């Protein structure tokens, strides 16, 4: 007999209580004095104190509306997890050094200098308890982009050597090897060949010219390699001129997540240079939310001018293909609950795309109470899933997500972000979730109508 929603909720809560809370931990990188760390943090905070930042900083009315939009605050009930509070040292530095009343704040010491102890304390708040999902941004009555401000605050934290160890390690590895999870060019090429053989699909590798450059994320290459075969199967069926390239394949950008804009730019420029080299007119991003943020919405900033090609998330590409009639799909007789990845839907605006694809598949979509652009974050983005000390609270956030999806009664769970999918897999194992999160891309590839081939 299947469990009721109430029974499942109780099981999740019991499992949560059995997780041991990790001890307090602050991670440091580099050999710097306390004074040097504070100075580097303040210098890099100041680089982001422009007009837009000033407008946001002066606009907050301390209404607290952002608190209940944050899944971490909702899971913990801790006022420290209120989104705007996570910015306090950043805001404190702005008020004292750059705001319109900075003279008075300094003269009368109304805003004290930020200390290293404060920065250490805020390491957890800026990295462990924020995915930069943007739900707080969307609900703020003053339209303050809190998620973007958190990203700015991380710039100063990175240069001060105050990044959580695990996140710093994968970021440094990405800068050194080209991939945060060890998916080097040779590993990527080997796995592409393996998937081509296993699924009997032609994999276009290192074509000199192609209209479409396809990227993959480390998670897909290492954990969900079937996504590579699925993408190839769809593009081949549509008759597209496309390629994977070993000199520009990694979509994941941990420079963005850690706060190092130089490394963020380096990762983006590898892809941009490759696309230019082969004359690509379109770059297709994989099922990865932050890859979408990094290239689709911040790529031109890194490049210094408009990108010379179009950038689409794979769900947008599939939706356009369905709309144009170039991709026809079999009917899937199932009820589906869809998890909207925050960076793709809420922050990227691609909310309707996966729904068009699901409609073309003929499934019955059952929307959760909080879905679409207001979808509740899974709690694993922004680098949070890499930070072990964040696990306890992350599991609590995911417990609420499981209950939300369970209330739909849907038979199949689907998403379009591999990082979300990994978080569902990891948390599902820990919390005994009786469902499995599926890939929208792979669902499409498994249900192609052969007559659609051009």
At residue 301, φ and ψ (nearest 5 deg) are -65, -40
pLDDT band, residue 11 (cuts 50/70/90): low
**What is the pLDDT averaged over residues 436-449?**
98
Whether the pLDDT of residue 264 is over 70: the answer is yes
Please check whether residue 29 is in contact with residue 120, taking contact to mean a CB–CB distance below 8 angstroms. Answer: no
Q: Please write the tens of the pLDDT for every residue from 276-314.
A: 999 999 999 999 999 999 999 999 999 999 999 999 999
Q: How many Cβ atoms sit within 10 Å of the Cβ of residue 117?
A: 11
**What counts of helices (H) and strands (E) characterise the chain?**
22, 8
Mean pLDDT of the chain: 93
pLDDT band, residue 450 (cuts 50/70/90): confident
What is the per-residue burial (b if ≥16 Cβ within 10 Å, else e) of 291-307? Answer: bbbbbbebbeebbeeeb
Whether the pLDDT of residue 380 is over 70: the answer is yes
* Placement of tokens 């990891």 in the chain: 426
* pTM of the predicted model over 0.95: no
Q: Please write the tens of the pLDDT for every residue from 62-74.
A: 999 999 999 999 9
Fold for 168-322, please state it.
Glutathione S-transferase Yfyf (Class Pi); Chain A, domain 2 (1.20.1050)
**What is the pLDDT averaged over residues 258-283?**
97
**Assigned CATH for 34-162:** 1.10.1060
Q: Please write the tens of the pLDDT for every residue from 30-63.
A: 999 999 999 999 999 999 999 999 999 999 999 9
3-state secondary structure of 248: coil
Please check whether residue 367 is in contact with residue 335, taking contact to mean a CB–CB distance below 8 angstroms. Answer: no
CATH number for 5-21+325-450 (one of 3.30.365.10, 3.30.43.10, 3.40.50.1950, 3.40.50.1860): it is 3.40.50.1860
Residues 93, 43: Cα–Cα separation, whole Å: 10
3-state secondary structure of 255: helix
Please tell me the predicted confidence (pLDDT) of residue 9: 47
Q: Please write the tens of the pLDDT for every residue from 224-250.
A: 999 999 999 999 999 999 999 999 999
Whether the pLDDT of residue 1 is over 50: the answer is no
Please tell me the predicted confidence (pLDDT) of residue 121: 95
Per-domain residue ranges of the chain = 5-21+325-450, 34-162, 168-322
pLDDT above 70: percentage of residues in the chain: 94
Q: Please write the tens of the pLDDT for every residue from 394-437.
A: 999 999 999 999 999 999 999 999 999 999 999 999 999 999 99
DSSP letter for each residue of 23-79: PP-----SS--HHHHHHHHHHHHHTT-SHHHHHHHHH-----TTGGG-HHHHHH--G
Do 34-162 and 5-21+325-450 have the same topology in CATH? no
């Amino acid at each position: 007999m299947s469990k009721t929603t109430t029974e499942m909720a109780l099981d999740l809560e019991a499992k949560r209580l059995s997780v041991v809370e990790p001890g307090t931990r602050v991670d440091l990188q580099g050999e710097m004095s306390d004074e040097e760390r504070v100075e580097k943090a303040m210098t890099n905070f100041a680089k982001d104190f422009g007009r837009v930042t000033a407008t946001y900083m002066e606009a907050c009315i301390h209404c607290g509306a952002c608190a209940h939009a944050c899944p971490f605050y909702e899971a913990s009930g801790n006022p420290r997890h209120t989104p705007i509070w996570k910015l306090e040292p950043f805001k404190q530095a702005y008020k004292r050094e750059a705001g319109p009343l900075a003279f008075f704040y300094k003269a009368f010491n109304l805003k004290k200098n930020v200390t290293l102890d404060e920065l250490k304390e805020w390491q957890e708040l800026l990295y462990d308890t924020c995915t930069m999902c943007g739900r707080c941004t969307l609900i703020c009555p003053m339209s303050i982009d809190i998620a973007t401000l958190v990203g700015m605050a991380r710039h100063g934290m990175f240069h001060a050597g105050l990044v959580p160890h695990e996140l710093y390690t994968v970021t440094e590895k990405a800068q050194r090897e080209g991939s945060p999870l060890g998916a080097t060019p040779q590993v990527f090429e080997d796995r592409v060949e393996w998937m081509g053989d296993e699924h009997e699909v032609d994999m276009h590798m290192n074509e000199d010219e192609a209209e479409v450059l396809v990227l993959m994320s480390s998670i897909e290459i290492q954990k969900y390699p079937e996504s590579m075969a699925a993408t190839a199967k769809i593009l081949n069926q549509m008759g597209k001129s496309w390629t994977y390239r070993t000199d520009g394949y990694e979509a994941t950008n941990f420079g963005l997540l850690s706060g190092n804009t130089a490394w963020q730019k380096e990762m983006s420029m590898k892809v941009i240079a490759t696309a230019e080299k082969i004359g690509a007119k379109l770059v297709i991003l994989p099922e990865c939310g932050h890859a979408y943020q990094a290239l689709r919405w911040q790529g031109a900033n890194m490049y210094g001018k408009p990108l010379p090609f179009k950038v689409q998330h794979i769900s947008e590409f599939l939706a356009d293909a369905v709309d144009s009639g170039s991709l026809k799909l079999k009917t899937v007789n199932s009820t589906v609950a869809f998890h909207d990845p925050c960076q793709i839907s809420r922050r990227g605006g691609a909310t309707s795309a996966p729904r068009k694809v699901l409609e073309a598949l003929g499934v019955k979509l059952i929307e959760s109470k909080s879905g679409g652009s207001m979808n509740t974050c899974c709690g694993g983005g922004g680098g949070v899933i890499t930070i072990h000390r964040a696990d306890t609270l992350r599991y609590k956030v995911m417990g609420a997500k499981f209950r939300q999806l369970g209330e739909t009664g849907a038979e199949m769970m689907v998403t379009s972000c591999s990082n979300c999918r990994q978080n569902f897999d990891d948390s599902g194992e820990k919390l005994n979730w009786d469902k499995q999160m599926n890939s929208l891309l792979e669902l499409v590839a498994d249900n192609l109508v052969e007559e659609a081939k051009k």
